[in-house]
Amino acid sequence: MLKIIKFLRPWRWHIALLLLLVFIQVLADLFLPTLMADIIDQGVMRGDTPFILRTGGFMLLITLFSIVCAIASSWLSSTIASGYGQSLRSAVFDKISQFSLHEFDQFGASTLITRATNDITQVQMVTIMIARMLLMAPMMAVGGIVMAYSRDPQLTWVLAVSVPALVVLVVAIASKAIPLFSSIQLKIDHLNATLRETLSGVRVIRAFNRVDHEQQRFHHANTDLAETYIAVNRLVAYMMPGLMLIMNLTTLAVLWFGFQRIEAGTLQLGSLIAFTQYAMQILFAFMMMSMMFNMLPRAQAAAARIHEVLQLTLSIVDPAAPQTSAEPAVVEFQSVNFRYPGAEALALKDLSFRAEPGKVTAIIGSTGSGKSTLMRMIPRFYDVESGKILVGGVDVRDCSQHALRQRLGYVPQQATLFSGTVRSNLLIANPEASEEQLTQAMSTAQALPFVTELEGGADHELKQGGRTLSGGQKQRLSIARALLRPAEVYLFDDSFSALDFKTDARLRAALKQEVRDATIIIVAQRIGTVMDADQILVMEEGEIIGRGTHEQLLAHCETYQEIVASQLRAEDAA
């Protein structure tokens, strides 16, 4: 938690004021037993009613002042903790926003969501407790010991026995609870991952009658988490009876030896009552600290997971002096090698090709041949292991990520839409686009006919992920979104797969007219999508094994011939 405490800096003056209020409250609470002792010894024992009323009124004023301080400190601690949580969430989200796909692969979506929500909530809750209890408890303990000693030094030996016993009990229980608290966060991650998979894959689960199996998976993860919680709470439950036993034995010892001293005439009754109250304040302070020490391990585990995200060194960062290029956006791969983190085999092997403006470069190959990996390298979602990728004559690693991606129009393999209207989804690519540009982009992407039929047209509200639309409709909206940006390079990563042949043909014909001066790179599985391209690359196991036009590949590339033969009749292929 100390590693993420820097996010409390904006609240340092609030913390200073909180410390002052807590200190004043502790002083007031420590002064009350002394006044009570004076009332008994100098008022009740002597029958001095005016003294009792005068001192009692003073006690009432101090109590009211202590209450005001307590309310103000509670408000301040809540404000500080809320602001701290807000700063942490913003910092975590900003950091995640800078992650490359490598970092996302390293963590996973479920654990990042847990860290940005549940873990920060844990830290925020403990911050409230620390701001109130952990600041007050040491002051109360030290002040109580000083005041108790001032009342009767000889009775203080009782505290010298009870306080260490209290500490031993807390340490013994905490040493067993800390590992369990740490494992709870991991099990919450596992539970969230299981739930996320079940919800996102509900269609497949029901189609194959695996509902019972998924219920069992969730039940096991849920039971595992519940059992860990029960084990922790069982340990913590032992603490309260132990603490109360020590407190009651301490009170009994103080009263027993105190009354002996009263009988001997060496101690007054008021001083004994004051000493008893100070003993309770001291033990209660240690009790508060013990409760905090049992809450801190889980918060510490959560803070460690938050810090792991915040301190992660990004694998893809902008150069210190980014380069820019005004040259035409030629995309060139020069001997590119790439492997996914942790993989033994290369995903791309010695890849070299050139895609020029005004021409369509198509990439085809079997599943797993590296087509989509190649496309992800151009926007710099991953960095090359060796070799270079040039856009406009500049290595993508020498450009700022923002400037590079501003030149690109990208359609991912999986069409992604967000909650909101059709219009808001398209304007993601170009917030300044006019209505005419919006209509033109939808028309080119062959999305205009079905959008006009939706209730509200372009202002139709989409559900999250566009789940009310078909796969082809989502793909066409994704293509329209990319076309709305006046890009120099358009990347279509198998984004025509859900379209019928007629729509596919119309879309490609319109595309040639709309972005005729741009560099177009298309990944596809269908021969019909790529056969009209100016250059076709055939990939197999991360390598380019054939390149040329449809006719050239049909004459010389065996793999391409096999793909054609599996999809088209001989007369269609000629």
More confident position, 431 or 232: 431
Pairing relation of β-strands 489-493 and 408-411?
Answer: parallel
The arithmetic mean of pLDDT across residues 203-228, rounded, is 88
Sequence-distant (6+) residues with CB within 8 A of 198 are 205, 214, 217, 218
Round to whole Å and give the CA distance between 423 and 236: 54
Tell me what pLDDT residue 293 has.
66
**Residues 392, 326: Cα–Cα separation, whole Å:** 7
Please write the tens of the pLDDT for every residue from 119-178.
888 888 888 777 777 778 888 888 888 887 777 777 778 878 887 887 788 778 777 777
243 φ, ψ (degrees, to nearest 5): -65, -45
Percent of the chain with pLDDT over 70: 98
β-pairing, 420-421 vs 461-462, is antiparallel
Q: How far is CA 394 from CA 330, 348, 404, 485, in A?
A: 10, 21, 10, 21
Banded model confidence at residue 338, pLDDT cuts 50, 70, 90:
very high
| Spatial separation of the C-alpha atoms in residues 282 and 288, rounded to whole Å | 10
Residue 535 and residue 484: Cα distance in Å, rounded? Answer: 25
Pull the structure tokens for residue 540.
């197999």
Instruction: Give which of 180, 196, 215 is closest to 114, Cα–Cα.
Output: 196
**Whether pLDDT at 375 is above 80:** yes
Global pTM value: 0.73
Query: Which residue blocks in 341-457 are alpha helix, DSSP H?
Result: 371-377, 401-406, 422-426, 435-444, 448-453
Q: In this structure, how many other beta carbons lie within 10 angstroms of the beta carbon of residue 445?
A: 28
Residue-wise pLDDT for 422-442, tens only, equals 999 899 988 888 999 999 999
Span 331-573 CATH architecture: 3-Layer(aba) Sandwich (3.40)
What distances in angstroms separate CA 38 from CA 243, 254, 269, 319, one per listed residue?
A: 30, 19, 10, 73
Determine the pLDDT at residue 171. Answer: 78
Residue type, 388: K
Structure tokens at 502: 């007629």
Q: Find the mean pLDDT for residues 374-395.
A: 92
Mapping DSSP onto H, E and C, the string for 88-102 reads HHHHHHHHHHCCCHH
| pLDDT of res. 573 | 46
* CA-CA-CA-CA torsion sign (309, 315, 320, 326): negative
Closest CA relative to residue 491, chosen from 524, 464, 460, 461: 524
Q: Which of 83-87, 177-181, 232-236, 393-397 has the lowest mean pLDDT?
A: 177-181
pLDDT digits (tens, 9 = 90+) for 63-73: 999 899 889 98
Residues 6+ apart with CB under 8 A from 164: none
Q: How much is the pLDDT for 569?
A: 59
Tens of pLDDT, residue by residue over 277-310, are 888 888 788 777 777 766 777 787 788 888 888 9
Alpha-carbon distance 462 to 465, whole Å? 8
Q: In what order do the strands lie in the sheet with 408-411?
A: 408-411, 489-493, 519-523, 360-365, 535-540, 543-548
What are the sequence ranges of the domains in the chain? 2-310, 331-573
Q: In what order do the strands lie in the sheet with 348-355?
A: 348-355, 331-338, 386-391, 394-395
- Determine the average pLDDT of the residues in 108-117: 82
Residue 570 above 50 pLDDT? Answer: no
Residue owning tokens 């800078």? 98
What pLDDT sits at residue 356?
92
Would you place residue 394 in the very low, low, confident or very high pLDDT band (cuts 50, 70, 90)? very high
> How far is residue 357's CA from residue 520's CA, in Å, rounded to a whole number?
7
pLDDT tens string 312-334 = 888 888 888 888 877 888 999 99
CA dist list (Å): 378 to 335, 410, 472, 523: 14, 10, 25, 13
Q: Residue 332: exposed, middle, or buried by beta-carbon count in 10 A (0-12, 13-18, 19+)? A: middle
Contact 475, 460 (CB under 8 A): no
- Enter the tokens of residue 500: 């019928």
What is the per-residue pLDDT for 491? 93
Q: What is the pLDDT of residue 379?
A: 92
pLDDT in tens, 506-539: 888 888 888 888 999 999 888 888 888 999 999 9
CB–CB of 359/120 below 8 Å?
Answer: no
Beta bridge partners, 362, equal: 522, 536
Closest by Cα among 46, 61, 59, 51 to 269: 46
3-33 pLDDT, tens digit per residue, is 788 888 888 888 889 888 888 888 888 888 8
Helix, strand, coil tally for the chain in percent (to 5): 65, 10, 20
Mean pLDDT of the chain: 85
* pLDDT class of 348 with cuts at 50, 70, 90: very high
Closest CA to 294 of 176, 453, 386: 176
Count of beta carbons in the 10 Å neighbourhood of residue 162: 21
Which residues 6+ apart lie within 8 Å of 281 measured at CB? Answer: 29, 30, 33, 140, 144
Per-residue model confidence (pLDDT) at position 574: 43
| pLDDT over 90, % of the chain | 22
How far apart, in whole angstroms, are the C-alpha atoms of residue 332 and residue 354?
A: 4
Is-contact 404 396, C-beta < 8 A?
Answer: yes
* pLDDT confidence of residue 294: 64
Calculate mean pLDDT across residues 472-494.
Answer: 90
**If DSSP codes are grouped into helix, strand and coil, which group holds residue 411?**
strand
CA distance 374 to 491: 11
Taking domain 2-310, whether its CATH number is 1.20.1560.10 is answered by yes
Cα separation, 315 vs 317, whole angstroms: 7
Sign of CA dihedral 366, 368, 371, 372: positive
Tokens 């190649």 sit on residue:
374
Distances (CA, A) of 219 to 196, 208, 223, 226, 227: 14, 19, 6, 10, 12
Q: How far apart are CA 135 and CA 292, in angstroms?
A: 11
